A and B are shown apart, each in its own frame.
Chain A
């Protein structure tokens, strides 16, 4: 049998209980990271900037708090009665002894439905061919007049005007002011596009809005706006929201820019680039003309040279030169002739010398002469007893023929 203790355990303090519960709740994984769905009530936002509210359904309520740092970042501000999903962790507020949801994000419950509507309209317009690439019109290289449809008070307009002023101030801007969020926005945008095309006839239209929640950008998912973009005479560039936001208007537009500033950039050439192009053009122009003039000068020099060769003075010069040449050749050829003659003469003298009888006699031959004074060349010219004269190299003597052989 269990005896009741004489000294029951000491009682917990309230703080200890609340601390214990808090530790218990905070150690639970499910409660540390959850989405809660319900309707907003008892919404209050005191000067501290924190957001206090209750999320309830038909039979229950959950107290919620969102600290200022999270509340400031909300793109969607909940109102009483809104159906929402709240994200956060459940813990205990020790001072009040209440557990509550410490919220860090809220989104409207309708978002899923909006997205379904977005997909339905996108599919429908796509099937109609409104997004076709061959519908996209080329942008003018140097726009003269740019239409802008946006809010006259938004940062988007300021950004676009600053960009245009910096890049291409040669352009004239016509603003068609229109609300870009809320119920009035679609009709305003449609009217702005229509009026610009009719009354201003711009070269290109920028349809733009700064960043915001999906509800803020909803006007750009409106079917009427999409059709007004498609019907615009001037090409339309959209610059809606941030880089990651895609709207139906973006798909229909001739060009989609990620931001309003980017839309203004895509619509215009950059003044700095134009200056570079201009310098390049001037340089080419000067180069062409210089080389052309150079070529003309060369041709001129060539013609002048040919003309010079045809002048009378050059003719005389050339004749004089020819005369000198002929003279030189004549002298050369005469000299040669004399040399030749001299050589011939020498050879003749030699031959004459060779024929001199004296020279023959001196080699031992003798000339025999008969009584008739003719030289004896045949045995038939003489008879035995004939007296003949014999001439040798240094004198003559007489001989008598003593015999002879008959001729052969």
Chain B
């Protein structure tokens, strides 16, 4: 009875890392079938990889607000 879970690559860092923490806590706390354990392990590994790739690839997005308009903004170097 596993819930429908969104694909890992669509998650934000916060969502992915929080789910990873939840998986670890569940695995540590509850008795699970081997099948469930392996499923969760696989999902956990995907989440960890996704988080690492977010950290590696992220580039700061800068925008600016003029009244209610949000426009792109680049600081002149």
User: Does A195 lie within 8 Å of B67, measured CB to CB?
Assistant: yes
Q: How far is the CA of A85 from the CA of B69 in the complex (A)?
A: 47
Q: Is the interface of A mostly helix, strand, loop or mixed?
A: helix
- Residues of B with C-beta under 8 A to A152: 64
Q: How far is the CA of A200 from the CA of B65 in the complex (A)?
A: 8
User: Does B52 lie within 8 Å of A164, measured CB to CB?
Assistant: no
- Residues of A with C-beta under 8 A to B37: 288-289, 292-293
Q: Smallest Cβ distance from B4 to chain A, in angstroms?
A: 22
User: Does A142 lie within 8 Å of B48, measured CB to CB?
Assistant: no
**Known interface pairs A158-B75, A281-B20, A289-B27. Does A141 touch B14 (Cβ–Cβ under 8 Å)?**
yes
**Known interface pairs A161-B60, A164-B60, A199-B65. Does A288 touch B28 (Cβ–Cβ under 8 Å)?**
yes
Name the CB-closest residue of A to B43.
A285
**Known interface pairs A158-B75, A284-B24. Does A196 touch B55 (Cβ–Cβ under 8 Å)?**
no
**Known interface pairs A144-B12, A278-B55, A289-B38. Does A174 touch B65 (Cβ–Cβ under 8 Å)?**
yes
Q: How far is the CA of A173 from the CA of B12 in the complex (A)?
A: 16
- Residues of B with C-beta under 8 A to A321: none
- Residues of B with C-beta under 8 A to A285: 20, 23-24, 27, 41, 44-45, 48
Verify if B1 is at the interface (C-beta below 8 Å from A): no
User: Does A174 lie within 8 Å of B63, measured CB to CB?
Assistant: yes
Could you tell me how many residues of chain A have their Cβ less than 8 Å away from some Cβ of chain B?
41
Fill in one digit per residue for A164-188: 1 if any B CB lies within 8 Å of its CB, else 0: 1100111111111100000000000
Verify if A335 is at the interface (C-beta below 8 Å from B): no
**Known interface pairs A141-B14, A171-B60. Does A176 touch B24 (Cβ–Cβ under 8 Å)?**
no
Q: Is the interface of B mostly helix, strand, loop or mixed?
A: helix
Q: How far is the CA of A172 from the CA of B48 in the complex (A)?
A: 22
**Known interface pairs A281-B48, A289-B37. Does A199 touch B55 (Cβ–Cβ under 8 Å)?**
no
Partner of B24, one of A147, A195, A281: A281
In A332-389, the 8 Å CB interface with B consists of none
User: Does B54 lie within 8 Å of A289, measured CB to CB?
Assistant: no
User: Does B51 lie within 8 Å of A278, measured CB to CB?
Assistant: yes
User: Does A161 lie within 8 Å of B62, measured CB to CB?
Assistant: yes
**Known interface pairs A142-B13, A199-B65, A199-B68. Does A165 touch B55 (Cβ–Cβ under 8 Å)?**
no
- Residues of A with C-beta under 8 A to B23: 285
User: Does A176 lie within 8 Å of B65, measured CB to CB?
Assistant: yes
- Residues of A with C-beta under 8 A to B38: 289
- Residues of A with C-beta under 8 A to B27: 285, 288-289, 292
User: Does A173 lie within 8 Å of B61, measured CB to CB?
Assistant: yes
Q: Smallest Cβ distance from A343 to chain B, in angstroms?
A: 69
Q: What would 9 A/B residue contacts be, using CB atoms closer than 8 Å?
A: A157-B75, A173-B62, A177-B66, A274-B55, A282-B45, A288-B24, A288-B37, A289-B27, A289-B41
